[in-house]
Amino acid sequence: MRKTRKPSTGMENVCRELRLIFDLLVKNRQNTPEIQVITRKLDKVKVVR
C-alpha cells in the first residue's frame, strides 16, 4: 500500500463495505485468525486515509 498517494473515494468505499462485512462475520462467531489479520489490514488502510 503506497502512502504517498491518496486512495480514490471508490477504494475508500470498498474498504468501508469490507469492514462492515467483516464486522458481521465477527458478530456471527466466524472469527478465524485469517479474518482478524484482514480486519487489522483494513484498519491500517483506514488510518492511512
Range of the domain at 33: 9-48
4, part of any domain? no
CB-CB contact of 28 with 12 (8 Å): no
Question: Is 2 inside any structural domain?
Answer: no
Per-residue model confidence (pLDDT) at position 16:
79
In this prediction, residue 24 carries a pLDDT of 77
Residue 25 resides in a domain: yes
What is the three-class DSSP state of 33?
Answer: helix
pLDDT value, residue 3: 56
- The residue ranges of the chain whose pLDDT is under 70 are 1-8, 29-31, 45-49
In this prediction, residue 49 carries a pLDDT of 47
Rounded Cα gap, residues 49 and 31, in angstroms? 25
